Amino acid sequence: MYSSNPRSNLLFVVLILFSSSLLINSRKLDLKQPQQLDHGHTDDSLAYVWPLPWDYTFGNQTLTVDPNLSLVTQGNGGHSVIVSEAFDRYKKIIFEHCSSKLDGSGVDYHLTRLNVIVHSGNEELQLGVDESYTLMVAARDELSVIGGITIEANTVYGALHGLETLSQLCAFDYGTKTVKLFNAPWYIQDKPRFKYRGLLIDTSRHYLPIEIIKQVIESMSYAKLNVLHWHIIDEESFPLEVPTYPKLWKGSYTKWERYTTDDASEIVNFAKMRGINVMAEVDVPGHAESWGKGYPDVWPSPSCREPLDVSKNFTFDLISGILADMRKIFPFELFHLGGDEVHYDCWNSTPHVKQWLQDHNMTAKDAYQYFVLRAQEIAISLKWTPVNWEETFNTFASSLDPRTVVHNWLGSGVCPKAVAKGFRCVFSNQGVWYLDHLDVPWDSVYYAEPLEGITDASEQELVIGGEVCMWAETADASNFQQTIWPRAAAAAERLWSKKESASSANTTVLPRLEYFRCLLTRRGIQAAPVTNFYARRPPSGPGSCYSQ
C-alpha cells in the first residue's frame, strides 16, 4: 500500500485485528486473475468500479445500507460545504429507489453511518492537489470494533472521489427493496496516476446551454476527470461576455446563444464543488475571425479576416482586456492560448501588414512567433501559466517561455520531444483521443499511453496528463453526451489507474466499461453503447444494457 499517512495505516491494522473473521475470505485483486472480479452480468453481487482503484481487498459478504445513512465528519476539512453537499448528492443517487413511505424502523441495517475524515481545511483547487483517499467498509459485529463506512482523505477533493467509489459499490435490490453493498469488507487505497485528466468542450461551433455544460461536469466527476478545458470562442462565434470590450458579443450566433460573466462564474463554481478545474481558452492568432464582428480593426482587412492583425497594438489591447476580464472568473493556474493552425496568407497579402513585416524585418513565420510570445507575456502578467497547442513548440520551441505547457494533438511523438527539452506536456493525440472522430473504438482510446516513447523517470514526470477533446462541428445539445461517453471513460481510467491495468491479461476491462456505461445511463447521462462501430449510434435492436 502506498499511503504515507500513519493514521490510515493504523486504521487498517485495527480493521484487520478486529475483523479477522471477515477478511479471512477476502481476496487481493490480481490483474492477472480477473475472474475474481468478473462475476458475470447475471450475478446480483456484481461489484465493478470505474476507474480501477490502485490497491484494494474485498470479501464475500453482502451488507445492507440504511436509507437514512448519517454523515459523521472529522478533521479540519470535514465540515466543508463541499463534503456535505456531495454527501447529499450521492445519497440521492444511492437511494434513488428507496421509497420514503417504507417503514425501515424494524430493519437491522449493517451500515448506518458514513464517517468522512478530511485532514486539511484548504479548499484551493489547483493542479496537483491531493486527490487520494482511503475507503473502508465493514459490518459491525461482536468481533469488530470498526464498523460502517469510513472515507479518509487529505483534502475534500479526495473525499469526493471516495464518495463516487462508494456509490459504485452500492446497488438497489428490487426484491427486498433495499440497497446492498456486495463483496464486503472492502479496503481501498486510491490515487490518480496523472494530475491532469481533462475533457475539452467546444462552445463556439455549437452553443451549449449552461444546463448541458453542468451535466457534462457532473458526468466527468463520475469518471474522476478533473479538468474541463472550455474552448469557449473560435472563428465561428464569440459567445462570452467581455465587459471591457462589450462589442465582442456581436460575434455570437444570436442574442440568445451567449454566456454572461455570471454564467461563466456559475459554471466554474459548479465544477469546483465536484473537484473539477475549468481551464479557459482564447485561441490566437488564428481561430479568431468572430472577434472582428464587434471590432473589425482586428481583421487584417474586411476580406481577409484571419489571423488577427499582428501589426496593430489594438489587437493586443483587446487580448489584454479579454484576459483581464476572464482572470476574474477563472482561478485555475493554467490558461490555454491556442496557437494552432495559423496560416499566414492574410498577413502576406494585406499591404499594411506586409509593410509592417518589412519595417520590423520579420517574415510571417517570425510574426507568428512574435504574436504567440506577446500573448504569453499578457497571460503570465496575470499570473497564469500558458498552455499552447503543439504547433508553437514545433515551430519555435527555443523561444517559448519555459513555463509553457505543450498540448499535443497532431499525432504521437510530440510529448517525448517536449519533455526532452524540459517542457511539460498534455497528451491528446487526435488519432485516439479526439471524440469527434466517430470511428475510433473504445479500445483504441483505452490502450493509448500518454507516456509512450518516454522512458526517463524525470521526463515522465513532465507529462502532467492527458485530455480527450469533444470538438463540436457535428455535435450540439442533441448528441453531445453520447459522443463523449462512454469513450471518455476509457481515457479516464488510463489517466487514473495504474499503467498495468492496460495489460492484455486484464479481461475485466470491457465488462466493467459496459457496466459503467449503464451506470451513466441510470444517472441520466446519455451514454452510447460501448461497442458500436461508430460512436453515438443507437443500439441495433432489443437487449439488455449490460449485454451490449
Cis status of the peptide bond prior to 486, with omega within 30 of 0? yes
Q: Radius of gyration (Cα) for the chain, nearest Å?
A: 25
CA–CA separation, 485 vs 529, rounded Å?
Answer: 9
Of 69, 140, 71, 67, the closest CA to residue 104 belongs to 67
Q: Are 148 and 114 in contact (CB under 8 A)?
A: yes
Catalytic position from the list 96, 341, 461, 473? 341
Burial class (CB in 10 A: 0-12, 13-18, 19+), 308: buried
Active site residue 341: yes
Chain centroid to CA 132: 16
Residue recorded with cell 484576459: 323
Secondary structure, 3-state, 242-271: CCCCHHHHHHCCCCCCCECHHHHHHHHHHH
Query: What grid cell was written down for 77?
Result: 476539512
The residues with which 153 forms a beta bridge, in sequence order, are: 118, 133
Q: How many CB atoms lie within 10 A of CB 198?
A: 30
Between CA 99 and CA 533 the distance in angstroms is: 40
List CB contacts of 339: < 8 A, sequence separation 6 or more. 283, 284, 285, 286, 372, 375, 388, 389, 391, 392
Per-residue HEC secondary structure of 305-336 comes to: CCCCCCCCHHHHHHHHHHHHHHHCCCCCCEEE
> Which residues are known catalytic residues?
341
